[in-house]
Chains A and B, each alone.
Chain A
Amino acid sequence: MQFSEHWLRSMVDPPLGTEELARLLTMSGLEIETCVPVAPPFSGVVTGEVVTLAQHPNADLLKLCRVSVGAGEPLQVVCGAPNVKLGMKAPFAHVGARLPGGLEIKAAQVRGVQSGGMLCSARELGLSEDHSGLLALPGDTPLGRDIREILALDDHLLTLKLTPNRADCLSLLGVAREVSALTGALLTPPEVSAVPAVCDAVIQVRISEPQGCGRFAGRVIRNVNAAAPTPEWMRRRLERSGQRSISALVDVTNYVMLELGRPLHVYDVDKLSGGIDVRYGRRGEKVKLLNEQTVEVDETVLCITDDSGAIGLAGIMGGESTKADLATRHVFLESAFFHPGAIAGRARRYNFTSDASYRFERGVDFENNAAGIERATHLILDICGGEPGPSDDVAVLLPQRNPVRMRIGRAELVIGIPVPAAEMEAIFRRLGFTVTREPDAFVATAPSYRFDIAIEEDLIEEVARVHGFDRIPADPPVAPVQARTEPEAERSLHQLRERIAGAGYQEVINFSFVDPVWEADFAGNAEPITLLNPIASQLAVMRSTLLGGLVSVARTNLNRKCERVRAFEVGRAFMRDPAAPAGGLAVAGVQQPMRVAGIACGPASEEQWGIQARAVDFFDVKGDVESLLAPLSAGFERAAHPALHPGRSARVLLGGTPIGWLGELHPRWQKKYELPMPAVLFELETAPLTALGLPHFEEPSNFPPVIRDLAVVVDAGQPAKALLDALEAEKPRFVREIRLFDLYQGKGVPEGRKSLAFRIVMQDTDRTLTDAEADLAITKMVELLGHRFSATIRT
């Protein structure tokens, strides 16, 4: 909400400067977001009148005027404004005046004619961007007066960012009440007195839904001049509150809403069909609203209706069919109370909001209906004339203001310091609560404009807030010292991050929502979890794989001339799973496991002297994955994945359970996603990687190891892992390590076969192995490999 400091100070005027006032409000919970002067500083500008007007003798586009500033001889000035007219009143800058931006007005010769001052446009005074002509002042403006005073320019615009619980401050009166409560300064609300009826015109009102409409005050005013101009002072206050002047009748309703926080609506009596009924809508009923939008209502939307059907959305917006316009003769004013629950969310459903709905859904004072209607009647009579009928105020169901008990000890426990009971009582009284004192407690009842006081904590908050949060000390709490550490047998995601970063990968964070095409390409997922309200079509579905984002990161960085990309991400993937149960940390119907994924693209090592450049390959990244997992040791089996090269992709297994994938990006996607070179990717679940167990101690052997190398030739298509697994499974107890250290194909090895060389380390813990034992072990291994894999010893 935006408002003028002047207007506020007309109701409460504490001895505080503008900045101090803004700070006071901010620190009491009414955050002043911005506080800007209405006009920049300038001086020496007064009201003037053009008393003679002639053509400039030497210039076609210039005029020669004499300007009266009241006392003294009129002053001769040259003026180029297209709208200058004889008898016109406009701001006049004297010689010596300082305009915004520091321009000083000097006496000057303009095309050979003396000019002693300057008539000003709005832009020249920094009031607006309007430079189409002089700023025309009303005909009754007194002459020779400082323009800052005449236009009330020594004012500030304050923007209040109000929290939803403080609807009582959505008006000047509300803010003034708060300022008065905080400072003790006298509150002088606008005077409202009952306007006597001079005719007996009424509109019958029926409230069919007291749960929706708790109160309805109405009044007819006959024979108004709806075309009368809105007075300057009202126009100015409205404009400084961000409201455009529309017509006198609409302006009055807006004015009373801003002034008293009382939304009003004005109907054209001649357009109403019969009496008014406040009821819920009927399915299929339509209303064309004042914003020209036609909406279809149903039985959850409270409506103002007449014999013709729905004519407006109660508490939200009036309808086009009964609106008062400049030709309206007789008007009907509505000043109703609608319960917040009956209004909340309805406007949003139709994708708009209005000043009225904004207020009603947060809570509007249900005791100022009559005051609002009297105030509006008074203003309408002043501006448009007319004959008021009787004010008809019917209250059927108003919110209860229950007394709330606040224990003094409880307040101290919650706030953390004692606030003197006398101060608490004073706070409640200044805030307009009725309060009674018990030995250890207060019982307070909130005024009708407060909708946020229902429980003890609400009162404690009021005490803390008005006492001042900044007066509550920020001392470190006293609590029992208890160490809390992470279990040693687990590693955290951060440790995994450090590990993979240590292997040269840079962490990135990609959005969890992605292009549906990525899901199809990289996960083969035709039914990803879809956002109902995405911000963009390429961010429309939840990712079930992290790979798409990494490919995109590789591409953008390669496009930026980065030659070598190593990137990883730790984040969740999201999958539908109707069978997934709800749990402490789980939501039924979806799986959202944490994953770690990486991409490698470009040279195996950074380009440098002394290392032969080569492109990264599957085994570079496999090594990275293995060292990420260590001390866990994974298995890899060839399997197809939608994102990966079918011959160069592996399922990663831990203890036989699949935990992820490793492989080269499918050449089809490499082309489609415009990567200039192959990329190798991996993606693993993190949960299986975190449980490590404690290190397992084994006494080191003091006896010498026996080391033998064993090279065998097998079919080229034979996975090496099978040989290793077989050797591991069948090895004697004293074989400590079997390591594949060479792969060879080529000269000396038959076509279609390959040579694999294993290094076998044997060592016993309590004695020295004999050569015979070692030889026997190797012989058995050779037999095993020969028997099971048709392996022959390479000679």
Chain B
Amino acid sequence: MQDVEPIVARAFAEFACSADAAQLENAKARFLGKSGELTALLKSLAALAPAERKSAGALVNAAKERIEAALAARREAIASAGLEARLAEEALDVTLPGRRRGRGGIHPLIRSWQRVEAIFRSIGFDVADGPEIETDWYNFTALNNPENHPARSMQDTFYVDVSDEHGQPLLLRTHTSPMQVRYARMWVERFRDAAQVPPIKVIVPGRCYRVDSDATHSPMFHQVEGLWIDENISFADLKGVYTDFLRRFFESDDLAVRFRPSFFPFTEPSAEIDVAFQSGPLEGKWLEISGAGQVHPDVVRNFGLDAEHYIGFAFGSGIERLTMLRYGINDLRLFFDGDLRFLKQFS
């Protein structure tokens, strides 16, 4: 029988110099194909004597296995070289900027508004919203602020050319306080048949309007009203809740908060709430942040409740003020002139 070793050596050499899959397959055919050298050799075994055939067959089969192994190795090598080449070709400049989509954002005042909501929701307050064109009754009278009362000149009111059923012109609400009365009356109505009206705990953020326009006043601004009425909600509770709110809002446990006596027709005792920061550009300065107090019994009666059995507090805070202090914004007008360069800083 012909010696197998030279065939194996040639196969190895031809596989090694096959540069791509096609050459390799041609080379394979020359050795392992139907008319390949090794196939021919295998066929020639039939002519041998049985004893000799067995040992020669083993020899040829071993050679075939070695050639097949070499073929597989070469196939693998060619394939991986091809992948390498493709990967190199596909390489990106990863430093190019990513595909950009326009970035939007929430207005800074709404950001504060959301934060105020989150804080009060976490202690069980509801959030309500109500009309901005209001009646004189809800905005003033129901809040113990009758016509001609000097307290009315504290707020200069915008009126519109639509009148209520008494012929009084409607107005743009000067504060969110009318919603105290609206919300409480709806609440009381809802529990009309209950033995006990459940606690009223609500905040009302929203737009308000006053005839006032200068560097520190905008004719439209935002307030958040708060109201908690139950059988025993005291002025000390107001101090506790509001102080905690301010410290959470500004994330400053050493924020100084003071309550000083003031006057609002719809609360008594009434307080003005000031804060002072312990660091930063406003350090140590008392800044007015809110008006508050125990809801006046006349107002509680306008809620539809017995003022002897239901007491509690209300507060109203300026969202612009909270936002300006929070972010160090120095000009109120920036909130309303739609400058995207300013607004996008908060997105």
Contacts and interface: CB of A to CB of B under 8 A. Distances in A.
B160 A484 contact: no
B347 A506 contact: yes
Interface in B233-267: 233-237, 239-244, 257-263
B294 interface: yes
A461 to B, nearest CB: 4
B263 A584 contact: no
Contact of B268 (A457, A481, A549, A606): A457
Interface residues of A, number: 99
A483 B124 CA distance: 6
Contacts of B261: 27-29, 461, 464-465, 469
Contact of B234 (A348, A414, A502): A414
B217 to A, nearest CB: 10
Nearest to B187: A584
B102 A564 contact: yes
A504 B263 contact: no
B339 A413 contact: no
A488 to B, nearest CB: 15
Interface stretch (B54-62, B71-79, B143-151): B143-151
Residues of B in contact with A, size category:
35 or more
Contacts of B347: 501, 506
B89 interface: no
A572 to B, nearest CB: 6
A341 B146 CA distance: 11
A435 interface: no
Given A531-B158, A533-B158, A470 B258 contact: yes
A570 B294 CA distance: 33
Interface in A701-752: none
Contact of A503 (B104, B151, B233, B236): B104
A29 B262 contact: yes
Nearest to A610: B99
A457 B294 contact: yes
Interface string A543-587: 000000100110011001010111110111010100000101111
Contacts of A183: none
Interface in A609-629: 609-611
Nearest to A166: B263
B220 A476 contact: no
What DSSP secondary structure best describes chain B's contact surface?
A: mixed
B170 A590 contact: yes
Contacts of A470: 258-259
B106 interface: yes
A506 B340 contact: yes
B84 interface: no
A574 B160 CA distance: 11
A587 B170 CA distance: 9
Interface string B103-142: 1111101100010010001001110011111110000000
B269 A464 contact: yes
A501 B106 contact: yes
Nearest to A566: B102
B132 A608 contact: no
A166 B165 CA distance: 35
Interface stretch (B6-14, B34-42, B206-214): B206-214
Interface in A506-523: 506-513
B344 interface: yes
B289 to A, nearest CB: 14
Contacts of B336: 509-511
Nearest to A162: B263
Given A31-B262, A479-B199, A530-B161, A474 B236 contact: yes
A52 B117 CA distance: 78
A132 interface: no
A150 interface: no
A109 interface: no
A31 B260 contact: yes
A274 B239 CA distance: 61
A639 interface: no
A572 B132 contact: yes
A372 B25 CA distance: 125
Q: Count chain A CB atoms within 10 A of each CB in B104, B117, B164 and give the residue with the most.
A: B104
A27 B262 CA distance: 9
Interface stretch (A140-148, A252-260, A288-296, A492-500): A492-500
A416 interface: yes
A465 B240 contact: no
B100 A529 contact: no
A482 B124 CA distance: 7
Given A344-B149, A605-B100, A606-B102, A510 B239 contact: no
Interface string A340-367: 0100110010000000000001100000
Contact of B240 (A362, A474, A576): A474
Nearest to B296: A457
Contacts of B340: 506, 553, 557, 562, 565, 567
Interface string A590-603: 10101000000000
A511 to B, nearest CB: 5
Contacts of B121: 484
B207 A571 contact: yes
Nearest to A493: B129
Contacts of B234: 413-416, 477
B159 A361 contact: no
A476 B159 CA distance: 40
B343 A533 contact: no
Contacts of A512: 132, 172, 207, 209, 220
Contact of A584 (B150, B186, B259, B338): B186
Q: Count chain B CB atoms within 10 A of each CB in A460, A461, A483 and give the residue with the most.
A: A461
Interface in B207-235: 207, 209, 211, 213, 219-220, 230, 232-235
Nearest to A481: B124
A449 B272 CA distance: 24
Contacts of A576: 162
B163 interface: yes
Q: Count chain B CB atoms within 10 A of each CB in A341, A479, A529 and give the residue with the most.
A: A479
Contacts of A506: 104-105, 340, 343-344, 347
A529 B160 contact: yes
A551 to B, nearest CB: 11
B104 A476 contact: no
Contacts of B150: 164, 344, 361-362
A692 interface: no
A649 B241 CA distance: 50
A508 B158 CA distance: 23
B317 interface: no
Given A26-B260, A457-B296, A508 B102 contact: no
Contact of A556 (B109, B182, B337): B337
A315 to B, nearest CB: 13
Given A29-B262, A512-B209, A535-B219, A592 B241 contact: no
Nearest to A574: B133
A589 interface: yes
Contact of A473 (B103, B236, B296): B236
A533 B158 CA distance: 6
A163 B161 contact: no
A608 B104 contact: no
B1 interface: no
A413 B132 CA distance: 34
B114 A494 contact: yes
Interface in B254-299: 257-263, 268-272, 294, 296-297
B185 interface: yes
A166 B240 CA distance: 27
13 contacts: A29-B260, A163-B262, A344-B148, A460-B269, A474-B244, A479-B199, A500-B104, A512-B172, A572-B132, A574-B133, A576-B162, A594-B129, A605-B100
Query: Which A-B residue pairs are the 10 nearest by beta carbons?
Result: A416-B236, A416-B234, A29-B261, A504-B102, A163-B263, A553-B338, A345-B148, A474-B239, A501-B104, A477-B237
Given A464-B235, A552-B338, A606-B101, 6 more contacts: A465-B269, A476-B241, A504-B103, A535-B211, A567-B340, A610-B99
